[in-house]
Chain A
């Protein structure tokens, strides 16, 4: 077939081909993002996301949003500026959560027998939806970083609280008070995760008394804004067509 001949012969066929491309691209995007984002989140958020006895009011609340706003920012940059498609953050989180659930269910529970109520992933969906909507409504990277990044950080703890609160009910155990989450960490033996590597409830926010979660969330939100900018630029750079044109 010579290059001058088109692969499609009618408008209907063109539409059909274009739609096939849509599904191919979306499918590939979903799994590439799933793989990349999942590895990134495991390396940076790791144990904070794996175990309930790491999901505290200070470090988990601070670390998880900061390290997880990365891929959503980059994928948004690509999908929005090139296609005006406002689902970059949601598609990332859908991929991440699918990967996490498969991993937690098959490996943590199915292979190693850690109960699912001890090793379920954190919920990032509320922040992702708001992040996408803000980008769509404002069409501005700056506004999305500031308003969306802020929402991303602030919605994280309340978005997860209904899921983890039951595990923060206190229990008296052999003369010590602990939460059910602490007890899970004690009961379900992890030989590779001794208690001292657990980074929870550490920090210098003591002056705020018992309301540390909102303070941590605000701090996390501010850093999320900065990280959003950075990764949005990464995304834009990767989405450039310069690479293809040269060929």
Chain B
């Protein structure tokens, strides 16, 4: 019997600790490392990030860096994901290791949510100011309401220095310059301590005297009225009157001290400008596409027609942020993340310049470990087994054309 009692006591103590700590251990999402676990079709058929540039690989606390580039809102947006009518340009970092000092789409500052259109290409820029030292994976990211976060490519950036040196100076419209990192802190601590102390005083007033057992006996004996004395009533009235007076006075003082305040600003930003993409003169038809599981390679048969006036060559296939290049046509000079770059990952059966007016059917192979590492191959297990991506063609003058492809993908297991 005693054993059971002890066990129950122990268990209830554990349960008590568990409830108390459950809420206290809550931490807001700090990691953005979900890129690989996000369904492959989400990464291939929603937002195509390209021309990305991380301006620095190492940055000191208080210094800034930018991530810029373009994103194409895929025309064949999957039906299972809500359209990006309400979306937010975010940045995938583990908590506020940088502060987002600015972010722009099409030149417009976007601190709030925006409405984007399918089939459009937008340029964007995010300005980050380094705050906490460490090595951080910095991803582009777009949150879509009803679709969740769409994480783009990430690159490792090192922040050096000390977080203690970080300052975030802002000049308000009332002409004051404040450090937002610590602004208002003393005031917050003061008022919370003040009200907490007042609450404790009220509690102490009552716990001075015997509490549960004698009072319970008195209530059950019908002597409940004797438990609240005249002094108690006076003290209580003092507490209530004091509380109301302090609230009223502190509110008045605050309004005097801060005569100019505005409500929080919210609301969707519309009319975001997209880029006018040059008209394309190359036409691509996907005859078939297969993914060879053992070889970690995707093979497509493409019929390419050149309707322009300059010969073109295929230089790059970009899908889900992974870039497959034919090094004889295109090289990366932007320091694109290694794990997402297959510098010689693109093989074209005949990649000689395709003269104007001509048409050619070629075998294109995109192979790299990234298929596996980034779990893009999981696409073949998706309910809608289609792939999509961007093809970049280069003409003789080095001009680039972007063609979107979107076709079914058949896996082969031998």
Query: What is A's interface to B at a CB cutoff of 8 Å?
Result: 15, 18-19, 21-22, 25-26, 28, 31-32, 34-36, 38-39, 42, 50, 53, 55-57, 81-87, 90-91, 93-94, 97, 99, 101-103, 106-108, 111-117, 120-121, 123, 125-126, 128-130, 132-134, 136-137, 155, 158-159, 161-163, 165-184, 186-198, 200-202, 210
CB-contact partner of A126 in B18, B19, B195, under 8 A? B195
CB-contact partner of A170 in B172, B183, B247, under 8 A? B172
How far apart are the CA atoms of A31 and B17 in the complex, in Å? Answer: 8
Q: Nearest CB to that of B174 among chain A residues?
A: A169
Residue contact A177 to B111, C-beta cutoff 8 Å: no
| B291 adjacent to chain A (CB < 8 Å) | no
Residue contact A123 to B191, C-beta cutoff 8 Å: yes
Residue contact B264 to A182, C-beta cutoff 8 Å: yes
Residue contact B251 to A191, C-beta cutoff 8 Å: no
Assess A190 versus B206: contact at CB under 8 Å? Given A38-B23, A129-B199, A130-B244: no
How far apart are the CA atoms of A57 and B202 in the complex, in Å? Answer: 30
| B181 adjacent to chain A (CB < 8 Å) | yes
Residue contact A200 to B266, C-beta cutoff 8 Å: yes
CB-contact partner of B247 in A155, A195, A197, under 8 A? A155
Query: What is B's interface to A at a CB cutoff of 8 Å?
Result: 16, 18-32, 86-88, 90-93, 95-102, 109, 111-113, 131-132, 141, 143, 145, 149, 163, 168, 170-174, 176, 178, 180-185, 187-188, 191-192, 195-196, 198-200, 202-203, 206-207, 210-216, 218-219, 224, 227-228, 232-233, 236-237, 239-240, 243-244, 246-248, 250-251, 253-255, 257-258, 260-268
Give the chain A neighbours of B253 by CB distance below 8 A. 162
Residue contact A159 to B247, C-beta cutoff 8 Å: yes
Give the chain B neighbours of A190 by CB distance below 8 A. 28-29, 96
| Shortest distance between the CB of A184 and any CB in chain B (Å) | 6
CB-contact partner of A165 in B27, B143, B254, under 8 A? B254
How far apart are the CA atoms of A108 and B50 in the complex, in Å? Answer: 34
How far apart are the CA atoms of A83 and B209 in the complex, in Å? Answer: 12
How far apart are the CA atoms of A165 and B184 in the complex, in Å? Answer: 9
Assess A130 versus B240: contact at CB under 8 Å? Given A35-B16, A169-B172: yes
Residue contact B113 to A187, C-beta cutoff 8 Å: no
Residue contact B19 to A32, C-beta cutoff 8 Å: yes
CB-contact partner of B263 in A56, A137, A166, under 8 A? A56
CB-contact partner of B264 in A53, A84, A132, under 8 A? A53
Give the chain A neighbours of B86 by CB distance below 8 A. 196
Give the chain A neighbours of B111 by CB distance below 8 A. 173, 176, 178, 182, 186, 195
Give the chain B neighbours of A112 by CB distance below 8 A. 27-28, 30, 95-96
How far apart are the CA atoms of A137 and B235 in the complex, in Å? Answer: 11
Q: Nearest CB to that of B12 among chain A residues?
A: A28
Residue contact A107 to B26, C-beta cutoff 8 Å: yes
Q: Nearest CB to that of B168 among chain A residues?
A: A187
Q: Nearest CB to that of A26 among chain B residues?
A: B207
Assess A168 versus B198: contact at CB under 8 Å? Given A84-B224, A84-B228: no
How far apart are the CA atoms of A15 and B214 in the complex, in Å? Answer: 9
Number of contacts between A and B (CB, 8 Å)?
Answer: 317
Give the chain B neighbours of A165 by CB distance below 8 A. 254-255, 257-258, 261
Tell me whether chain A's interface is mostly helix, strand or loop, or mixed.
helix
Residue contact B113 to A196, C-beta cutoff 8 Å: yes
| Shortest distance between the CB of A9 and any CB in chain B (Å) | 17
Residue contact A35 to B20, C-beta cutoff 8 Å: yes
Residue contact B191 to A19, C-beta cutoff 8 Å: no
A-B contact pairs, 30 of them (CB 8 A): A19-B210, A22-B213, A39-B19, A83-B212, A84-B227, A90-B203, A116-B188, A117-B183, A125-B199, A126-B244, A129-B240, A133-B240, A137-B233, A137-B237, A155-B247, A158-B248, A162-B251, A167-B183, A169-B258, A169-B262, A170-B172, A171-B173, A176-B111, A178-B111, A180-B178, A190-B28, A191-B92, A194-B90, A195-B143, A200-B266
Residue contact B260 to A170, C-beta cutoff 8 Å: yes
Q: Nearest CB to that of B149 among chain A residues?
A: A191
How far apart are the CA atoms of A19 and B267 in the complex, in Å? Answer: 57
Give the chain A neighbours of B216 by CB distance below 8 A. 82-83
CB-contact partner of B261 in A169, A173, A183, A191, under 8 A? A169
Give the chain A neighbours of B210 by CB distance below 8 A. 15, 18-19, 22
Assess A136 versus B261: contact at CB under 8 Å? Given A175-B109, A191-B90: no
Residue contact A99 to B20, C-beta cutoff 8 Å: yes
How far apart are the CA atoms of A182 and B218 in the complex, in Å? Answer: 55
Assuming A85-B211, A161-B254, A165-B255, what are 5 further A-B pairs, CB within 8 angstroms?
A31-B16, A113-B97, A163-B188, A179-B262, A194-B113
Q: Nearest CB to that of A58 among chain B residues?
A: B263
Assess A42 versus B263: contact at CB under 8 Å? Given A32-B16, A117-B182: no
Give the chain A neighbours of B244 by CB distance below 8 A. 126, 130, 155
Residue contact A129 to B258, C-beta cutoff 8 Å: no
The 6 closest A-B pairs by CB, nearest first: A192-B29, A35-B19, A194-B143, A125-B195, A168-B261, A38-B23
Give the chain A neighbours of B243 by CB distance below 8 A. 126, 129-130, 155
Residue contact A191 to B93, C-beta cutoff 8 Å: yes
Residue contact A97 to B196, C-beta cutoff 8 Å: yes
Assess A162 versus B23: contact at CB under 8 Å? Given A129-B239, A171-B173: no
Q: Nearest CB to that of B206 among chain A residues?
A: A87
Q: Nearest CB to that of B18 among chain A residues?
A: A35
Residue contact A168 to B100, C-beta cutoff 8 Å: no
| Shortest distance between the CB of B217 and any CB in chain A (Å) | 10
Q: Nearest CB to that of B20 among chain A residues?
A: A35
| Shortest distance between the CB of B24 and any CB in chain A (Å) | 4
Residue contact A107 to B248, C-beta cutoff 8 Å: no
Residue contact A174 to B102, C-beta cutoff 8 Å: yes
Give the chain A neighbours of B180 by CB distance below 8 A. 115, 117, 180, 183-184, 187
Give the chain B neighbours of A193 by CB distance below 8 A. 28-29
Residue contact B247 to A158, C-beta cutoff 8 Å: yes
Assess A18 versus B88: contact at CB under 8 Å? Given A99-B23, A172-B173: no
